[in-house]
Every structure is written in C-alpha cells, then in structure tokens.
Structure 1
Amino acid sequence: MAGAKNGVFAEKISPYLRRKREEAGEPLPFLDLQYVIDPAETAGRTFEVARHYESEMHPVFEGRRLRGVEKLYRRTLLVEPTTICAAHCRWCIRGQYDTLTLSREDLELIARYCGTAPENRDVREVLVTGGDPLVLVDRIEWLLDALEEHAPQVETVRIATRVPLQDPRRVDARMQRALRRRSAFRIEIATHINHKGELFPEVRDAYAALRETGARLYDQTVLLRGLNDTLDTLVELFDELRSMDIEAHYLFHCVPIRGMNHHRTSVAEGLELHRRLGASGLVSGRVRPHFTLMTDVGKVPLYEGSIIGRDENDRLLIRTGYRYAERAAWVPGWRLPDTAHVDDDGFLRVWYLDAAGGKAGS
C-alpha cells in the first residue's frame, strides 16, 4: 500500500477497475470515492496522523535485524511480505509506508523468529498483510511453507487482501496452490468489501475460488461517508456477504489519516448505524459486525462506557481493555504513545480523533 511521495499518496487504479469504470459509461461512486484522488485530501487537521498506530518491531534475531514485522497483541504476529498493492484505496491506513518487499531469506528468518524467540511463545496467529500479500503469490507461499516448518505453535494464518476486488484474474490455480490446506494451521482470508456494487461477477468468482482452497473468508468493512453510511446500504452489503459465505467481522470507523476527514463519519453516526443494524430486525444477528476503532494502541470495539470524555479538539477519550504491563511484556521495546495513558487500574486509555464536528456518542 506504500505509494507516498513528498507526503502525497499516489493515485493507483488497477486496469481491471479502470475497465469497469469505462464499461459503465457513467460515474460509479462506489469505486470513484475509494480510488480517485480528491482535492480535499490536501486539507489537514490537528491530531491527524500520517500512519495508523506504530507497532513495527526491529528485533535482532540470529544476528540480523528483522524487517516487515509488527506486533501489538499477545497471540498475534503481523508480517508484511510486501507493501505493494494492485490499487490504492484513498482511505488506506498504510499509504505512508515505505516501499518494501521481503526476500525468501527474509521470510524464512521471520518464520524461525516466530517459532523460537521467547517473546513469541504465546503467538498462535500470524496476520499477513502489507500492502497486499496476494499481489506476490510466491512470497505468500514461501512464508506459509516456512511457518509450517519452523513455527509449529501457530494455529491460524490470516491473510489480508483486496486482490479479488481490484484484480480478480490473479486468483488463479497458482494462487489456489499457494493457499492449499496445511497440516499445521488453518488459513483465513480477510478482505475489505465496502459496497455491494463492488461485487461484479468476476469478483464473486474470485471469492468462490478462494473458498475452494478451504480457507475461511471474513470481511472488515470500512465505514465511509457518502459510500456506505446509510442503513439500507449496509443491510444490502451484509446480506450479500452472508449469501457468499463471508463472515461480517468488523465495521471499522475510518481512521484519522491526514487529509481523510472528508471520508469520515462521526463516531456517533457509526454507533447509531451499528445500533440500528442490530436492533431493527432488518438483518439477522448472524451478520452484525463489531463497530471498531483503530486507535494508537490497537483495535477497540465500542461498548457502553467505552467513550469516557471529549476535548475541545474533537478527540474522544477511549477506555480500552489493554493492560500496560501486559503490552510491555508482549512487545519488547513498545512505548506508550503520547495520545495514551495508564489509568489507576493499569488499563490503557487513548485519545481518538473524531470527524470534524462529530458528537460523542456512548
């Protein structure tokens, strides 16, 4: 997902998406709003960030400094084989990352680190993201092979991708072989489907091909102003996901990345949509996702009492379930960000920038 130059996130629209826009003969807002650069991106706000939470690690293992590794949670190690994507989502949380692609040697070293380093003794999941790991299928196969050999404690490997939406032809027999069933762990595939209109026939076929590998598919929809911020749009989307056997896992509030305020609803609007999804009878409770913020200390699903304050800069104070002492033990070298503090019970509280003019919610 890297593609920033001089602080500007480059526009990148895959040939497949360009063809779909041309074939339509009219604007397709569900694509344009996600991929076409907007002049509003030049407008910044105080407390917006160039990147989401900082969780990179640079451990030295077997005499080498590792690249492409992040960690925030006790059970999960994050690996980035590449920061390249087939297209650039304008709301991307990793648009300011440096361009990086790991070698086979790099990935095998990470697998050994995952399996043997003392700080990873509780790791049971590996989340493979980037960029988009399915853009370079050889890397994902090298990593899966290495994890199977060197990290026997890993039970689940999750792979985050938008390739089926952005370039579905890539989901071919070669990719299916790379994602084949493994003896040591199961594979889950995470995707961001934000609007029913994205589900062209080729896209549906690509997701079906991924399911044929035996992988479990789940979705992390990003709530975006003007795209999917109505109840009817979300009901249509989550019904369709269920019909495709894709679990609706998260409804993410759009992260306060620099220049992205025009994409963001208020947190209160997101909470109200989430409440109506669960309490309207319009959809089954089986398809209701968790409404979640990506804060500077990690993901925080919102529950009653999660929001405990608001300041004059539209920042919300969020109570989390993360303990500082545990985080410090899980992630050697982790530092408390300036936006967070530890409460009297040892839990982290963190400030989160709401959309401009938003209301607090609860």
Structure 2
Amino acid sequence: MAGSKDGTFAEKISPYLRQKMNERKDEGGFPFLDLQYAVDPAEAVDRTHEVARHYQSELHTTFEGRILKGVEKLYRRTLLVEPTTICAAHCRWCIRGQYETSTLSKDDLERIARYCGSAPENEEVREILVTGGDPLILVDRVEFLLDAVERYAPQVEVVRLATRVPLQDPRRIDERMLHALRPRATFRVEIATHINHPGELFPEVREAYAALQSAGARIYDQTVLLRGVNDNLDTLVELYDELRHLDIEAHYLFHCVPIRGMDHHRTSIAQGLDLFRRLVSSGMTSGRAKPQYTLMTDVGKVSLYEGTIIDRDDDGRVLIQTGYAYKDRLSWVPNWALPPTARVDDDGCLQVWYLDSDGGKAEA
C-alpha cells in the first residue's frame, strides 16, 4: 500500500467496494464506506508532529550473510512479517500508507522462517504476525510461508494473519485460500481484521468470515475509532453485538494514529475514552463483547488505564507511561533504537509522546 513519489497516498477502491459505494445513491449510499476509502481534500492539511510513517519497528539485521527484508519486531513473543505491501483497497486512515511497494520472494520468506527458528534473539518467539499490505492478496506466498514456518520454526504456536480482504473483496475467500490456511501440525491460524462499522457486514462479508472459521481459523477484531464513521455509542454497541453474534473476538478499539494529513479521521483521546467508558461500563455490552481502548505509539501498543497519561505539552501531545522495559526491548531486538519521541524513566521503563487530536473542535 504505497504512497506516490510526491508523498500522497493513492486512492484504491476494489470493484466490490466500488459497487457497494454506488448502491443506494438516491438513499444516501453508505457513507461509512466513502469516509474510509475516498480521498478527502482534508488530507492535504498537515499538523506539527504528524509523521508519514508511524510505529517504525523494522529489523535492520543480517542473517545468513544477507539483509533480512520485510521483518519487524517489538515484542518478546512476536515476529512480524510483511510478504507484500499491496492491498485490495486503500483505507485512508492506514498506518502503513506511505510504505514503498514491495513483495517478498519465496526465498525471502524461507529465510525469514529459518531466522525465526534459529536466531538466538528469537528463542522466545511463539507467534508470527503476517501483515503488510494485506497478505491474503497473495495466497500462494502465504501458503509457502506457513509451510516454511512449520518446517523451520517448530517453536511457533500461533500464526496471525492481518487482513481486510473479507470486507474489501470477499470473493477471494475461496477453496484455494481455505486450503492455504488449513491447520498445521505445529501452530494454529488466527485472523486479525478491522471491522469498523456494522454496515460493512454485508451478507457476502459474513459468509467470508464464516468460511474462514469453518476452515479452522480463529478471528479477532481490531476496530479503529474513526470520526464520522463509528464515533458514537449506538454504532459501537451495534458493532460489538454483531461481532459477538459472529463469534469474532472483540480485541482492540484503536485510537486512529497521527499519520500526516489524517487528522480529520481522528477523535480526541478524551472523546475516545468517554465512548469507551460508556461502551464497556454502562451495561450496553457485556462479557466477551468488550474491547480494550488502545493507542499505537512509537514504542508499541498501549492500552489506556488510570495513570497512563502523565503529561501534555503545548503542541497537543500527551506523554504516555508504558510498562515496556528498555533493557527487555534491547534483549528482544538488539539493534533497536530509542525513537526521538521516547525516553527512559527512572525505573527503566519507556515513556513516549503521542499526538492527540482536537476531534474536529477547531473546525466548529
């Protein structure tokens, strides 16, 4: 999912989504689709401290005498692999919208599997997150990678695949894909997805998720909180009720990240926290239907609890206290560099600045 040479993020809408967006035009259409996929002039507006690439965690390492490509790592148990940066459609709020277009070869993928299974720093790795781009765009590469992980990294217990293909092009969830995602002897397959509005769950989308489940995949959702799409209680309650009905785990409610030109998609953290409190503490949802409200910061994901936000500056940034220990991070990723937005506290844990939004109040 690459931006152009002038730094803009190209619009890409799959034929399936285009068909849906053209339906019911005389009745107002589906604005939750337009807001997520159509280019908006507001994308030309930049804010101080916005970045083209957020949450940078690439490994800069050599393995078997060659530079390892398409691998990231921030956590003790998880290695992230990006087989391709191509997607079926471009979500305007994408965290990876400015990544260069690239696709790994089968040789690259096999070396990654060997690296995962043999490098000393991966001794405690038990999960591989396959993301991109959207890995299910290239089902043959995904199958090859899963087979290689089974062969070379037997300590891996879970392989997670991050995808919006069921929402953007559900016809791709066919017998060929279900075979590629079949259970392996050494690990189970999980599907991570972003379902942001209950209206996205068209009948064919529901069928696609059900097919993945019937093939043995466990599915969990990471909803992104988006201004104008789902930033109201009724929409979120309906969404999480539907996820529970579909047996899709409610994992994260993500605050939309501060990517350059994307502030019009963002609520403020305070607005998000207020919605989250009403969602999980009002009796409107219960049990497994409740997500965690989480920020993606420059040092990793941080779920918000009392005392997490410890300071605020005049540029609209908040200082986030994390539980990530600096020495642990260096043991997991020996060449990891402390981002300019982060610092180490007196207890050796990371604190990180995160750009808030006014949630559109300045426009009112």
CA contact (8 A) 2:59 2:71 kept: yes
Q: How many residues align?
A: 359
What residue number does 2:301 align with? 299
Q: Which runs of 5+ in 1 are unaligned?
A: none
How far apart, in 2, do the equivalents of 1:283 and 1:139 lie?
39
CA contact (8 A) 1:278 1:285 kept: no
Q: Post-superposition shift, 1:285?
A: 2.9
What residue number does 1:9 align with? 9
How far apart, in 2, do the equivalents of 1:59 and 1:335 lie?
13
What residue number does 1:76 align with? 78
SS at match of 2:224: strand
Q: Post-superposition shift, 1:146?
A: 0.1
- 1:170-185 → structure 2 map (5 Å cutoff): 170-185=172-187
How far apart, in 2, do the equivalents of 1:285 and 1:185 lie?
27
CA contact (8 A) 1:291 1:302 kept: yes
CA contact (8 A) 1:41 1:260 kept: yes
CA contact (8 A) 1:220 1:252 kept: yes
What residue number does 1:134 align with? 136
How far apart, in 2, do the equivalents of 1:278 and 1:305 lie?
19
How far apart, in 2, do the equivalents of 1:100 and 1:45 lie?
28
CA contact (8 A) 2:227 2:359 kept: no
Q: Post-superposition shift, 1:332?
A: 1.8
What residue number does 1:324 align with? 326
What residue number does 1:186 align with? 188
Q: Post-superposition shift, 1:358?
A: 8.7
CA contact (8 A) 2:226 2:267 kept: yes
Q: Which runs of 5+ in 2 are unaligned?
A: none
What residue number does 1:287 align with? 289
How far apart, in 1, do the equivalents of 2:242 and 2:324 lie?
34
Does residue 311 of structure 1 match 2:337? Answer: no
How far apart, in 1, do the equivalents of 2:23 and 2:31 lie?
14
User: Amino acid of the residue matched to residue 352 of structure 1?
Assistant: Y
How far apart, in 1, do the equivalents of 2:46 and 2:76 lie?
34
Q: Post-superposition shift, 1:216?
A: 0.4
Does residue 24 of structure 1 match 2:43? Answer: no
SS at match of 2:167: helix
How far apart, in 1, do the equivalents of 2:147 and 2:172 lie?
20
CA contact (8 A) 1:4 1:97 kept: no
**TM-score when normalising by structure 2:** 0.97
Give the counterpart of 2:64 among 55, 62, 65. 62
SS at match of 2:93: coil
Q: Sequence identity of aligned pairs in percent? A: 74
SS at match of 1:313: coil
SS at match of 1:8: coil
SS at match of 1:139: helix
1:138-178 CA distances to partner (integer Å, 9 max, x unpaired)? 01000000000000100000000000000000000000000
Q: Post-superposition shift, 1:357?
A: 6.7
What residue number does 2:243 align with? 241
**TM-score when normalising by structure 1:** 0.98
- Provide runs of 4+ in structure 1 moved above 4 Å: none
User: Amino acid of the residue matched to residue 23 of structure 2?
Assistant: E
CA shift in 2, pair 1:278/1:357, >3 Å:
closer
How far apart, in 2, do the equivalents of 1:135 and 1:24 lie?
28
Q: Post-superposition shift, 1:5?
A: 3.1
Does residue 101 of structure 1 match 2:103? Answer: yes
How far apart, in 2, do the equivalents of 1:4 and 1:299 lie?
28
Q: Post-superposition shift, 1:356?
A: 3.1
Q: Post-superposition shift, 1:22?
A: 1.6
SS at match of 2:73: strand
Give the counterpart of 2:53 among 51, 54, 71. 51
CA contact (8 A) 2:266 2:359 kept: no
What residue number does 2:272 align with? 270
User: Amino acid of the residue matched to residue 17 of structure 1?
Assistant: L
1:277-321 CA distances to partner (integer Å, 9 max, x unpaired)? 111111113211000000000000011100001011110000000
SS at match of 1:16: helix
How far apart, in 2, do the equivalents of 1:263 and 1:357 lie?
8
